[in-house]
Amino acid sequence: MSKHVAVLMGGWASERPVSLNSGAECADALEAAGYKVSRVDVQRDIVEVLKALKPDVAFNALHGPFGEDGCIQGVLELLEIPYTHSGVMSSALAMNKVKAKAVMKAAGIPVAEHKVIHRREAAKAHALTPPYVIKPINEGSSFGVLIVKEDQEHPPQELTRDDWPYPDVIMAERFVSGREITCAVMGDVALGVLEIVPMGHTFYDYDAKYVPGGSQHILPAKILPPVYQEIQKLSLKAHQALGCRGVSRADFRLDDGPDGTGELVCLEVNTQPGMTPTSLVPEIAAHAGHDFKELVSWIVEDASCSR
């Protein structure tokens, strides 16, 4: 008898459209692989919905707050429903950029210097010497990211908006120039290393991530073999240091151009990587010999409680 999988998608975070897309793709692939699938657009009544469905496994295709910060994971632990991806603690830790950086730094993974500051203070005077990046501490998909350029006299005044949609405490992080590099981890194996080239975007923002043609992916990344292997090693080390489970994706900046410093830093680890047609993890997994149906089936079979 095939497992009954509830694919959790949607939710109410900013990434809702991406999550719906991810969830639909995963649900279709799981049905093709022979699983019984229930598609669940997660709302505030999720406990009642799951109690009625009684699935064998919850496939977490949610992105952003509630979906990847330990909240839905806690609900699933309470209901004793095995679930995919990382557990409560790991999800909460990886989602908090400041806490995650502290853990990674302690594990010997290079990270960029940063400062935690109230947004209104950051609007009065430069939090760091430009260039630097301003990021919400607990958001995904590059929401709320502002880049302060080297010749910018004043901090971004968007920070003073009365309708600022993110928490007031933000992170200012030293800008690391170079290439956008990412590496997926599947279980205890680091897969391929991919370079992301944003097309018509100053950085890998929301549109570059999710709009077809928004970025070019080079897989395997054209970098020196020792650097390639170092990125794989650091990705697995970050996955383990943060206590991740299932699949994760580590994002890096590599400054290896002709005038570059050779610096390599880990920006963050994503415990709920996108699973859309333009997403990185499915592409990296396919390059390693795991087609999409096989990938989502592996994720389901890896599910458990107390992760």
- 270 as an active site residue: the answer is yes
Spot the catalytic one: 22, 270, 279, 297.
270
Spot the catalytic one: 25, 173, 180, 251.
251
- 15 as an active site residue: the answer is yes
Spot the catalytic one: 39, 119, 249, 307.
249
- 251 as an active site residue: the answer is yes
Q: SS3 string of the chain?
A: CCCEEEEEEECCCCCHHHHHHHHHHHHHHHHHCCCEEEEEEECCCHHHHHHHHCCCEEEECCCCCCCCCCHHHHHHHHHCCCECCCCHHHHHHHHCHHHHHHHHHHCCCCCCCEEEEEHHHHHHCCCCCCCEEEEECCCCCCCCCEEECCCCCCCCHHHHCCCCCCCCEEEEEECCCCEEEEEEEECCEEEEEEEEEECCCCCCCHHHHHCCCCEEEECCCCCCHHHHHHHHHHHHHHHHHCCCCCEEEEEEEECCCCCCCCCEEEEEEECCCCCCCCCHHHHHHHHCCCCHHHHHHHHHHCCECCC
- 210 as an active site residue: the answer is yes
Spot the catalytic one: 173, 206, 274, 297.
274
Spot the catalytic one: 22, 138, 141, 235.
141
Spot the catalytic one: 10, 11, 14, 15.
15
Spot the catalytic one: 35, 83, 206, 210.
210
- 138 as an active site residue: the answer is no
Spot the catalytic one: 25, 68, 195, 268.
268
Q: Which residues are catalytic?
A: 15, 141, 210, 249, 251, 268, 270, 274
